[in-house]
Amino acid sequence: MPCTVITGGFWGDEGKGKIISYLALKDRLDVCVRTGSVNAAHTVWYLGKRYALHMVPAAFVNEKCRLLIGTGANIHVAQFLEEVEETKVENRIGIDYQASIIEEKHSIQDKTNAHLKGVVGTTGRGVGPAIEERVRRSAKLAKNIPELQPYLADVAKEVNNAIDNDKEVLLEGTQGLMLSLFYGTPPYVTGRDTGASAICSEAGVGPTKVDDVLVVFKAFMTRVGAGPLPGELSKEEAIKRKWFEVAAGTGRERRSAPFSFEIAKKAVVINSATQAAVTKLDIMYPQCKSVRSYEELPEEAKQFVAKIEKETEVPVVLIGTGPGALDIIDRRK
């Protein structure tokens, strides 16, 4: 049952899109299921082009991969159709017929709710109000939307059949554990759980069918919006270290801080992670840029990776050394 779950270990922005796109190409994925909602974008650099995807799975780079959006997801119809056109995946993408819909009214509610916008720091994409309506059992579902009829699928059935037939399956999580409604830093959290268990639930896959949980860390931490960020640096210091970033999907500035081993350990435990990936090692150590062999890394970078492994007690199997999908050191056996 070759099924892997990809989850974020910090506050999102860890580089999950890069890791997923690499695995899609390297492991020749058969099926990739995206969970979550439109408030999180995965950045993929492929063939010299940058994609910031809110709906389409990052595994689209593999032209033979079946792309699915799980029943637990929330669909922004216009965003979905726009990305389908951009990525040219019309004939191989499906949406679960019971996925819920984000309407324009939800975005308006998000932007005008003083608590969500001013205190929590929501993206304003309407995700929270859409989830609230779903809990009230009054949300529109994908099966009710004419424009989505060509894409409807029974995702749980399809993905479980794929796993049972030894297909290569990846479940794509969004955001990061520290934005989880349950395990993050309330009230500065998203409207759903973001851990591996929730990813499985949203995709319709039970825990006994998962082989690996790969938690993705960035070599330093970033966070958008309000809420605590241990060790937070000033914007000036972040710029000096080249850690200053702007969110791919929303354009919001990211706050920066050094890697937290305590948070990393928490992420590994709650996600039951079996493996880890570390991205942007080349930003921490510029001499790592585009390196494809672990042996070629400078000693300081190796020590950093070794400390992550020692503190979290899981192997770091993938190391990002550049923005491209294939700028990866692959340490898997």
13 belongs to the catalytic site: yes
In degrees rounded to 5, what are phi and psi of residue 153? -150, 160
Residue 155's alpha-carbon distances to 71, 93, 97, 107, 130, in angstroms, are 7, 11, 8, 26, 21
Residue position matching structure tokens 């216009």? 78
In degrees rounded to 5, what are phi and psi of residue 187? -85, 5
The answer to whether 67 and 94 have CB atoms below 8 angstroms apart is: yes
Q: Which of 30, 42, 106, 110 is catalytic?
A: 42
76 belongs to the catalytic site: no
The answer to whether 55 and 77 have CB atoms below 8 angstroms apart is: no
Residue 234's alpha-carbon distances to 240, 259, 295, in angstroms, are 10, 15, 34
Nearest to 224 by CA among 192, 249, 199, 196: 249
The answer to whether 79 and 34 have CB atoms below 8 angstroms apart is: no
Task: List the catalytic residues.
Answer: 13, 42
